[in-house]
Structure 1
């Protein structure tokens, strides 16, 4: 897959910092003239910084920032987001390829054990951001770009397929989220007219605010030690390392739609 050959609509959530910011910048280096990058996150100032770096690297593409709190958004909000982003100047039919990276996500409470989580409201709030909102946005994205080739990327984790002490919220949310995308890929695989490709990419342990929070606040001493040692030995990945691997995986296109690909695979 050559990312530099088609006029592309590109949307990424959580684009104001960390992995999302890095993926936005590096992917946009590839896109052809008049492609459109749409950056979504809560922090307007963070999105503007990402936008500025993108425009310095590739002034031929258009960049729009949409500050939005996805913890409260619903299906109508996503429909408006997509419609407003393409606007009158573009139109969803003017693109040859549409790419979405579902990067947004939260860690949840890591200070307690699984047996201690008895608050339905906290569970609901966590799953709204990390699963329900992702599925709703994804559905609207597919409808909006029904006629062109679509590449859907879910930023997942090893936590989606293996339990880790103190990461009950995170593991549960990542597992549910990845299963949604695997179901989507399976259904599309039996549709001869489908133009959807799905990738679940696990970026590995990366030096971000989230991994630092695990190191500092986890209720499990072993988890704390693991992340502490990785940082001390400089073995923890940087956002640019995992982003470059992600782009290599995507362009090589050796995966089956719906596959879980880890940085270390």
Structure 2
């Protein structure tokens, strides 16, 4: 599949690249990048990151950074990106792409009334809202409009960011806040292409947690029924759809686009 936004010499940064959707994004996007492109993968699991990196084309310069994004400072994040750039100037790239995929469900066993611990809320938002916002700012500082580089921001969001689900107050509010940040970023930066992509129900560790541990019985049954009906998507299915959406570009920058949205019908 040809995707102009991912062609040529690209600097690609993917968070949460060690497993699941992030791993698939990395592997699928990497096949489209031109020779000499630089790929930076960030996640906590060092060994899993290396496994992802080893699967990428040898024509790419691949860098990994094992770090906990929930406690990383802006300076630390900038250092990681600068190390990946090395002697390369940001102006040497045709495209700069950042995929904000890293995130967590949080405790899915409790109703909203039982979520009374400030520290748990702070830790959740540090990883799921604050770190992508800060990393995005660092990325845009390095690949600013003066570089003349085409910039693409993909935020992996969820239907839960626009639709409430019982026992998922951490996840729903985190996704909503994160998505709204990128919507604001999009209208403030019209020269940047921004997509909030909702990947649908994908067979990942998160889906297993929802099927086994969700506190709301009806919701738990729904997730198990989705699995039983064979409706759970593979990571390859949802990322192929993401690439199709990026190829067609029939969305307004900042839009929430779901796997099931018929973007190809929007002319």
Same fold flag (TM > 0.5):
yes
Aligned with 1:252 (options 233, 239, 248): 248
**1:98-154 CA distance string (max 9 Å, x none):** 000000000011111001111111100000000001100000000101111110010
Name the residue aligned to 2:163. 162
Name the residue aligned to 2:93. 95
Aligned with 1:208 (options 198, 204, 214): 204
* Structure 1 segments of 4+ aligned residues over 6 angstroms from their partners: none
Name the residue aligned to 1:78. 77
Name the residue aligned to 2:264. none
Check conservation: 1:41, 1:67, Cα contact below 8 A: yes
* Greater alpha carbon shift after TM alignment, 69-78 vs 164-173: 69-78
Aligned with 2:237 (options 235, 238, 241): 241
1:40 aligns with 2:42: yes
**1:60-84 CA distance string (max 9 Å, x none):** 1111111111121111111111111
> Any gaps of 5 or more consecutive residues in structure 1?
none
Name the residue aligned to 2:131. 133
> Any gaps of 5 or more consecutive residues in structure 2?
262-267
Name the residue aligned to 2:109. 111
Question: What secondary structure sits across from 1:214 in the alignment?
Answer: helix
1:223 aligns with 2:222: no
Q: Report the RMSD for the aligned CA atoms in angstroms.
A: 1.0
Check conservation: 1:3, 1:31, Cα contact below 8 A: no
Q: 1:72 to 1:4 in 2, by over 3 A?
A: closer
1:3 positional shift: 4.0
Check conservation: 2:5, 2:95, Cα contact below 8 A: no
Name the residue aligned to 2:68. 69
TM-score with structure 1 setting the length: 0.94
In the alignment of these two chains, the number of paired residues is 256
Name the residue aligned to 1:16. 18
Name the residue aligned to 2:193. 197
Name the residue aligned to 2:122. 124
